[in-house]
Structures are given as C-alpha cells and as structure tokens.
Structure 1
Amino acid sequence: MMNKLWLVSLVSVGILSGCANTTSTSTSNFVDRFPQQGSELPYSVLRGDLIDGKTNQAFEIRNGGFGSAMTGHPSISNQFYALTDRGPNANHTGEYGKGKSFPVASYVPRIGLFEVASNGEINLVKSIFLKRPSGSLISGLPNTSALGGTGETPYHANGKPVLVDDSKPYNKDSNPIKLDDYGLDGEGLVALKDGTFWVSDEYGPHMVHFDKNGVEIGRINAFKEDGRTEFNLPAVFQHRRANRGMEGLAMTPDETTLVGIMQSTMANPNKAAQKSDITRIVTVNVINGETEQYLYRQEKAENANSEISTLTTNKFLVIERDGSFLFGGPKKANPNAQKQVYRIDLTTGTRLSDIAETQSVTRDESHGLMIEGLTLEQYVVKNGWDALAKKGIQPVNKTLVIDMVKEVAYPHDKMEGLWIIDEHHLGVLNDDDFATWSTKGKLEQKYLDANTVDSNQLYIIEADLMGQ
C-alpha cells in the first residue's frame, strides 16, 4: 500500500536541486489530494487503423509516450516536464535487413509541459517539438554509423523501408533509406532556470542543449569528428549497447555539471561483455568540458537504470528496474518484479581518472581503463567485483529509498521518470510505449493485464529522499 501523503514544511522545498519553488501553487494544493492509485496523463490518438497482431482487430497508437524522462518545472511547483522517445516502434526484419518498424515515421520527439490540478487531474499545458539549429523539426529515425548508428533500418508499418522520398522507388544513391543525424531517441531530461533544456538519448549517446522553443543550441557526444560538438564524452561511450544508451540525465544545483547514467552494461569491447551488472555514470562540466566517470553496480545482470535526478551536488536518486510486468501484460506475471529507486553518493565511488596506470592497468583511447588487457566490463564478468575492489575501484554506494512494487503494486514494465517535488515527495512516471507492443515483429496493443491498456501514469510517493 502507498504510504499516506503528507504536507512538508515549505522551507524544505528549496533545498533540493530541481525542486519547484512556491511561486505558483503550494505543494499541499496537489500533493495532499493526489490519488493513491496514481493519475493518468492525457493522450491523443496518432492512428487507429492498424490491425492488432493477436486479436486481428484495429487498435490505437497513442500519444502518450511522455514517459521516457521527467523533471519538475524550475519555478512552478505543480508543473513538470516529460519527454517522449523516438516515437512508436517495434522490431522488424524486412527486405533491407534487421531494423525497426516506425508506424508513425514522421513522429517528432517532444517535451510536454504538464500541470497537476488540486484534485490530481493532469493536463497537458503545451508540447515543445525538438528542432535542428535551423529550426526545422527533427525525427526519431536512427543516426548514421558515423555517429554510432547500429544498423537499425527504419520501416513503415506496411513493411516498406522509410526512404528519403517515399513517393519514389528505393535507389541506393539517389533515393536511399532515410536516416537522421539529428534524430534522437530521448531518454534523459533537464530543465534549467533560464528555460532551456538538456536531453540525453539512446542513439549516440548524444546530450543535446535546446532553447525554450526546442531549437538545438549545443551538443555533446563521444564523436570528436562531429563538427556540431564543442565538448565530447570519453570515446568509450561509443560502445553503448543498442537501445540501452544514456537513459538518465541530471544537472548539479549550480547548473555547471551534467550527470548521465547508462541504462545497462556497454558492449565494451563487444556484445559478449554487455550482459552484466556494471553500468557507468559520467559527469560533464558544461563550462570547460571536463569529464569524470564512476561505476554503478546493479542488483542483477541486465537490469536497467532508467533515470537519475539531483538531490545535492553529489547525491542523486536513480531508478533501477527489470523489464517484467507484475500482472503479466504481454509476458508472464512476475511477483518478483523489480521497480526500485536508490539514493547514490558520487563521493563514495572511485573516480576512474584517479586510477594510476601500472604494468597491468592501462588506458585505451577507445575502450577506456583496462585491467590486464580487459575492459572494466570484461574484467567484472571474468573476475567479479571483489577483484575489481582489489584494484582500488569501487562502485558508488546506493541505498534503497522506494520499492514501487511494495508501495503501489506497480503494474508497468518501464519505470522511467522521477520528479523530486520536495524532500519527502517523489513523482514516478512510466513509459507506456505509445500503448503499443510487438510479438515476433507484429504490432499489437500494450496491455498490463487482460483488460487494462498501458498508459502514462503518475504516482506520488511519500519517502525520506535525503536520508536524514
């Protein structure tokens, strides 16, 4: 059962980075009255003409989709921003190889501004469409291989490839498959006091700075040859696992340092290393470009770190989850589904830049810190965390703050958004995948149980976020 929601002294609200102040609506006006079972975000229908692969009936693709990340409005306490990813998609193998079906290929990734009413009802205030520096709309289509593209060929729902000009036949030179180096699969979101945003994604990964209207004004990634970047991530981040890139993004209270977390173990140096429990956190000083890396140890291999949110300069909340459904959904019911929020402290983890090089410890331009010729990912798989500790490398300490399965019988597979409202209240949001699922490449409606279609659902939980 969810703990009873309660009012906290408003004096505490301003302590947390990213928490709203009280210039608009006081916390009590919506937190105290918020429904224990959560509240659904509004959605529109993108298309309803496709046939469900299981029922053979028409089903809805919804927008929805505002669950890849969330963050509080910097100055209005009952408003939050939420991010979509690249749009509805599903695995598909067609005439041009393995890839993704994009049933709404023209979809534009966007940031939604939402407001919570005093009765808990949630309204969409506006959508901010993401744009190139020129002001033209970006897409959610994959990047080219030069920017980390993993060969995901985009297809329409009818199985035809997405082409530069769909009105003409495919031609490798004059009308090739359409890719987009500005395309984003957004997963992390920061809203700054000046009205601008930072978004991290699963493609590059890229960290992109947008102005208040959604126009790109800056970019950070691991590709030094990308002329759009002023600063770069360490090259090791080019080895992100496909579809498991930089899932969470936060900013320190002074707004000088971005903090990103990778969803899962990277394919460093190859896929054999990626099925593990070691993930990386990276910090980037946006003033001078300096970076630092830390390690995070997951509870089990191939879990997902789906969000990171700021408490203080060094303390953050992190989502760790698996991909199961408590009540089954399109999979088997899993009573042991893991949907948890941990508090971490970067000062407890080893700064990888502090590790001195020796005969057995070296650094590689592409693969980062190496031990006995192995990447950190390989070394943990082969020798374990205790062996890594003997080399002087420790992951950040973490403390369980909220178990959403125990709190609210959390039914969703993807818990991906955190909103730090104040020291004792946390908003949690799921990614509903635009209410779609796929089985063996066939699109279908996404259900949580036999009767409930998945949707973006906001929960507000009472907890001691700071650990005081």
Structure 2
Amino acid sequence: MKRLLLSVLMLTVLVSCNKDDETAHNQDINYSKLPQEFPFSKLATVNGVDVINGGFGSGAAAHPTRKGEFYVITDRGPNTDYLNGKKFLAPNFSPTIMHFKINAEGNIEVIKYIKLKNPSGQPITGLPNPVGMGSTGETAYDASGNVLGTDNYGLDSESIVAAADGTFWVSDEYGPHIVHYSAEGVEIERISPIGVNTGTRKLPAVLAKRRANRGMEGLCITPDGTTLVGAMQSMMHVPSKALAKNTTLTRIVTFDIATGKTRQFLYKQDGGASDSVCDITAISNNEFLVIERDGNFGSQGGIKKVYRINLSGATDVNGPDIAAVDGMKINNKALEECSWDEITNAGIKTVSKTLAVDLVARLGYEHDKFEGIVYLGNNKLAVFNDDDFGVVDDGNGNPKAKILPKTGKVDKGTMYVVDIQ
C-alpha cells in the first residue's frame, strides 16, 4: 500500500512538473525591455582602438523548441579594407554562435558561446579559403599589413539555422558555402557550388560567381524542416563583372536536405548593386521575410526594410544543368545580362513581394548593418544588427571606433522586436 501511495505521489509530482514546464514554455515572453544591447567584453586593442567581442547579429535564428531562446552568429571577425583584401584585426578569431534567452525579467541572458570548428574539432578562423575551395581572391593581412595564410575551413559566416535535431546550418560569403555543424560547432558537411572542392553534395555552379563579400547573406529553414532557403546578397558577376548589367537582380536558392535537389528563383531588389538582400526567415513553407538595406546609418537616410515574399508562382531558373557556370540563359545571355523586360518576355516570374515594415520609419532605426531577423509569429519580428565589432575603416586600412551618428555612442549589437504588416 505504501508503495502504491508513493507511486501515485511521484506520478502527481511528475505531472505537476510537466504542466509547470509546459506553462513556462508557452507563457508570453517579456519583450518590454527591448531594444537591448548584448553584453560585451573587449576582444583586442589595435592602434589604441578597442575592438569589442561583438559582431553577433550577422544572422539569427530562434531555438526550434524553446520559446524566448535565440542564436546569433558573427561573421569572419573584425577587419578593415586594405589593398586587395582585408586586414584581420584578430587573425585567430573563430566565427562564433551565441545562444541566449530573454529571461523572466525581460533581460538578455547569455547561455553559451559555440565556436565553429573543422571536422577534426579544431577551431576555424575567418581567413579566406584557398583557390579551389571557395576563394574570393581576397588577400588576408594582419593589423600591421603582413600577409596571412588561408584556411581550408575558413568561413565568412552570415546566417544561421537552428535545426530541430540540435545541429546548425550556416551560410557564408566565401564559396558560398552552406555548412552543417554539430551542436558543439563541429563541421559535419560543407555544401558548395559545383567546381568548389569541398564535398559531394553541390549548389548550382553559377553561385560561385558571387562578388567578393557578397555571397549567401541569408539562410533559413522551412517550418516542415525539409528545405534550406538561401538568399544571395546582390547581383552576381554572371557571366563576368563587365557583362552583368541588371543591378537589381539577385537570386534565392533552395536546397532539399534529404535529396540535395536545388531550385533557384529571381528576386527583384528595390535598390541597386550597392544595396543588400540580407537575412531571410520563414513564415510558411512558401512565404518568407527578407531584409533589404543600404550601407547608410538610419539617421542619415538609410534604407532598412523588410519585405514579405512568396515563392509560389515564381519560376525555377535552375535550368537543366546545375553545373552550367553561367546558369540558365535567355537568347544565349546570362540572366544578369538581361533587362527585366527580357526576363518577363521569356515567361520568367520573380518572387512576389510586399513591404512588411520600414524600420527607419517605424522605429527610427539607427544602425547601418541591419542583418538578422527571426519571425516570432503573430506578425512580430525580432531584429538584429551587425556592429562590426565596434570598429570601421579609417580610410587607410586602420580601425577607428564605429560611432552611431545620432547618439554618438559606439555601435553595439542590439535586439529589437517590431510589429509587421
């Protein structure tokens, strides 16, 4: 009898705990204290300028099962323009994922940091890939201008997907690559365009003609968990820099995780070749939100918009041969060579798009690099910026503090939540 009572008591406690857990999981998250900056320490001091241990916000994703938890990712690390490449201010920096939550008080609370690693479990760097493995032609230098090497597994990470099995998918601006990482950040698979020697499963060869520093800027997963959807940042140099003319044409690519099958769709930007399509987040299996932005600060006329797009009805422009280096053609011209009239007359339909929110108009958004979004449901959107580790180029290849012109403060990664249409 005592054993029976004990069993009933334990079952009651277990059920009660499960209900409490479920209630906690499903309760509304307190976003009232946002916008809020991420906590930061100092990464380095270069030429008397502090480089913050930031950069989180190049891409973002929600935890697949725990409401109020998120992942944000850095890019390749703090850098400045120099000669034919970049000065890497912290050459050993490893692109890093930050896992955080909005706690009961409504504050950002870091859970852990996950450094990205090669298949052997060694931390990678953000240094460029060598020729044949995703090279963009950029040369890496240290802060003093000395030439650095390359990294076979280096990544200029720009977007992140948190999968239901606890693993991550990350897209970048080198290859461009889509890399599958374990929960601990160890590389499982690297998927690159045909002709880039990294693995057996491939993206369309034409994607290798991305411009340097303008690769696969956005990546998300469909709610059914079957398909990755990646957004190229801007017009690619197809068939060449000299011949690519359609400055508002960019591409969205889908990758079936089980089969490796790809599709491509055309996206028409509002701005030109200097503007960017950044992160992408899923609303449904066919409907998504995408960022369009320019490089100006919000208070200086910057464009920071989110569009609601739909792939249904858009034409798959993958073509019959994904190994074709210039992709599908119209009258023997690459798509980037064609005007929108030529593309329309060929029966090709772009993805549909409508404005979801203008962040400058709605929030007075100040940051320049609006690069991360997560759809929260109920027409609410989480918004993140890339703070460039608190530094920018001084015009001579050296760092200076990245100052927000409206507030006079150093730019830091910040999370917002905004209602969308």
Alignment RMSD (CA, Å): 1.9
CA distance in 2, matches of 1:160, 1:463: 47
Match of 2:381 among 426, 431, 449: 426
Q: In the alignment, what sits opposite 1:365?
A: 324
CA distance in 2, matches of 1:401, 1:86: 30
Match of 2:65 among 71, 75, 82: 75
Q: In the alignment, what sits opposite 1:444?
A: 400
- Give, as a single letter, the amino acid of the residue that structure 1 aligns with 2:386: D
CA distance in 2, matches of 1:142, 1:277: 27
- Give, as a single letter, the amino acid of the residue that structure 2 aligns with 1:66: F
Shift of 1:120: 3.3
TM-score (norm 2): 0.90
Shift of 1:216: 0.7
- Give, as a single letter, the amino acid of the residue that structure 2 aligns with 1:262: M
Q: 1:72 to 1:364 in 2, by over 3 A?
A: closer
Whether the aligned pair in 2 keeps the contact of 1:247 and 1:307 (CA below 8 Å) is yes
Q: In the alignment, what sits opposite 2:361?
A: 406
Q: In the alignment, what sits opposite 2:15?
A: none
CA distance in 1, matches of 2:245, 2:147: 29
- Give, as a single letter, the amino acid of the residue that structure 2 aligns with 1:72: A
Whether the aligned pair in 1 keeps the contact of 2:161 and 2:219 (CA below 8 Å) is yes
Whether the aligned pair in 2 keeps the contact of 1:142 and 1:184 (CA below 8 Å) is yes
TM-score (norm 1): 0.81
Q: In the alignment, what sits opposite 1:43?
A: 40
Whether the aligned pair in 2 keeps the contact of 1:24 and 1:77 (CA below 8 Å) is no
Q: In the alignment, what sits opposite 1:104?
A: 90
Q: In the alignment, what sits opposite 1:417?
A: 372
Aligned positions, number: 397
Match of 2:210 among 240, 246, 250: 240
Match of 2:225 among 255, 262, 268: 255
Q: 1:92 to 1:86 in 2, by over 3 A?
A: same
CA distance in 1, matches of 2:404, 2:258: 44
Aligned pairs for 1:79-90 within 5 A: 79-90=69-80
CA distance in 2, matches of 1:76, 1:23: 12
Classify the secondary structure of the residue corresponding to 2:114.
Answer: strand
Whether the aligned pair in 2 keeps the contact of 1:23 and 1:75 (CA below 8 Å) is no
Q: In the alignment, what sits opposite 1:338?
A: 303
Q: 1:225 to 1:319 in 2, by over 3 A?
A: closer
Alignment of 1:387 onto 2:342: yes
Aligned pairs for 1:54-69 within 5 A: 58-69=48-59
CA distance in 2, matches of 1:70, 1:200: 12
Match of 2:312 among 327, 333, 347: 347
Whether the aligned pair in 1 keeps the contact of 2:73 and 2:157 (CA below 8 Å) is yes
Shift of 1:115: 1.2
Shift of 1:110: 1.0
CA distance in 1, matches of 2:151, 2:385: 27
- Give, as a single letter, the amino acid of the residue that structure 1 aligns with 2:205: A
Taking only the aligned residue pairs, the percentage that are identical comes to 43
Alignment of 1:221 onto 2:211: no
Match of 1:378 among 337, 343, 359: 337
CA distance in 2, matches of 1:112, 1:363: 35
Match of 2:412 among 439, 452, 455: 455
CA distance in 1, matches of 2:27, 2:377: 8
Shift of 1:158: 1.4
Alignment of 1:268 onto 2:233: no
- Give, as a single letter, the amino acid of the residue that structure 1 aligns with 2:328: L
Q: In the alignment, what sits opposite 2:173?
A: 202
- Does 114-123 or 445-454 show the bigger shift? 114-123
- Give, as a single letter, the amino acid of the residue that structure 2 aligns with 1:193: A
Shift of 1:326: 2.5
Whether the aligned pair in 2 keeps the contact of 1:248 and 1:262 (CA below 8 Å) is yes
Aligned pairs for 1:263-342 within 5 A: 263-272=233-242, 273=244, 276-302=247-273, 303-327=275-299, 333-334=300-301, 337-342=302-307
CA distance in 1, matches of 2:54, 2:304: 21
Structure 2 residues without counterparts, runs of 5 or longer: 1-20
CA distance in 1, matches of 2:420, 2:298: 22
Structure 1 residues without counterparts, runs of 5 or longer: 1-20, 52-57, 163-177, 328-332, 357-361
- Does 236-245 or 110-119 show the bigger shift? 110-119
- Give, as a single letter, the amino acid of the residue that structure 2 aligns with 1:267: H
Classify the secondary structure of the residue corresponding to 1:82.
Answer: strand
CA distance in 1, matches of 2:267, 2:210: 15
Shift of 1:137: 0.9
